[in-house]
Structure 1
């Protein structure tokens, strides 16, 4: 529920909260680290000081006596207490008794220190005071005499640390408001360029696509966003231009047959005609209707290739058989221009797909080859397999395509300068490319102006 409410907040408010929390968390972390380091430092210094003094006493006892209960040991203790006021000091023998013969409260810790032959630390209540205690073993070569127990009051340290903790909590509470304020300004500086960008974008419509975002240089990300949006506007502008060009061409393609049909009908109806004249008029009308129908089919094919997911209807296709059928169609299409059609079709090549759509894609490429190949030219069809791919090649000796135009020929409505006077709508290759891509395939073109073109379709072999 909280997550849903948070997600409904504006980005500026979300960033303000995040920045505030981060700043507050950093402040808490820094203070906590300072507090813990201070505490550890005080303990470390206390332990170090205790260990130094305890080692000196242990050395003195071991040097001057072999008995922790004699007067020399007591003198050393009394002298040490005089030199280090406020400290708790006692010597414990190996049986756990102090110099007065009383059982020590540090009997077990002393035994452990002697066993491990190392000094140990603990924190204990002694005479009503909290003390940091070190137990230091007293040894001579081969002999354990006992241990020195030395304690230093740490109540003052604990009170100081408690006060420091209270101060830290108060400071943290006072930091809440500044954290929110700093978070707000950080969020504002991050979001303001986006807000200005949004306002500039709202001013751009289909009527002024040439307008560009004009904002001062900002962060790298905002500049990248502006550049990408300007690039998008460039692509949209080109798309709108192609759409307008296409609409003009389609209007012309539709208007011309309709005008011919209308004129022909008006002339025919102007007076009585002979049967031959009526037949001629009807044939002319049918010819224009066929042309108009072809235009509509091209439009529907392109719309279908852009919107229909036909991969669910894929079936096994004998591509070799399909290419033989297309070869016969190519011979028929090329005959009026006396174009030679040669083929080299390898047998038993199977792919997965939709047969009529693959037929349409290959047909569109061959149709282009026939259109743009001069009379008595040559078209070569090939089908072969290599590794895991099936390759279809359509090569012609036509007008060719300039290198800078080759990357655009699969765009819808695109037509090169040298082909604009040839009948067509600039949709054939776009439809073919969409169909082949839907079959997880690829179309490539190798061409040079004046030297013909070779289109190669790559599909995945089924077996």
Structure 2
């Protein structure tokens, strides 16, 4: 038997047949049902006949990868006319008694059915043979071979589709990882010059400037704040997808929390001096949280409200503790958010088609929702024809119990909690 090095495509066909879990059972059933002692699946092309799988009880000598000269096979004729061939007794067959193939290989009975792929391509044959005559030309045997060729074809198509899908997924994953790495590197490279720009604007604002120059310096400063916010969101998104997740540094310092909230409001007012922000802050209980992250969440939600709210109407904010719950809500007068869009608001890179949203990345609300989850809380949206309100809520719990509560109730895979007073080292929560 010829046994040359096969091309990659033909080797793939052999491997695909080998992946069909029931292939050995199919060949065994054919032998048991017909009484024949050799059965095989052959890959047949214009130039080659190659064994993909076989059951050999007569020492015919073919194993996967072995090749026969295509001109010496009946399967080559089947490839040409696409019809089954059934020979019960070669010596009594008018058509095949003097045929060169039985004479060369020494068989007396033979049956072979073509295998076609879903796209109509001829793949090869399912065949069986024996050195003794056999009863083959009957309805049961024909239906059995027809069923098995269709089953083999179905499995080959399914295997190729799965291979293509896995290849696409791997490529998509590779591109995604490169994109996230690029985002992280870009964010780090941009952070320093943006910080320097803001510092330079502050220095200019503390000097004697003309009114025109002062307005320009304020514009530079406000733009740098917005760029910093975009960079922070990009970095948080990239880190979350690269496995680091949202990190929290927990404390229960009320003064720091109020300071962070006020700082966010002042920055937002600096950037958006035309918008009025009316805020109420009532913190009667200590709140165990990462004040910087809460500030980031507040900044994202407040910025979103200003972006989509009516300019002639105030933005209403309320930060309070009530019955053991910390609430942070931001309301704006504006168009209603449809229920279908509400389902996608907290997905990464989701943006609406409005003019106000063209400059956004669609990460602010997503990052805010991740910060909320990391704190064991949630963000909800309520939108009517007149007003839209985003509300962040989380339990007010002592920092000493924060980590245990998180592990017990909230899955925080990949997140790190660090409590300033109680924990000396960062502690990775269990997934």
TM tier, smaller: 0.3 to 0.5
Q: Normalized against structure 2, the TM-score is what?
A: 0.42
Larger-gyration structure (1/2): 1
As a proportion of its length, which structure holds more helix?
1
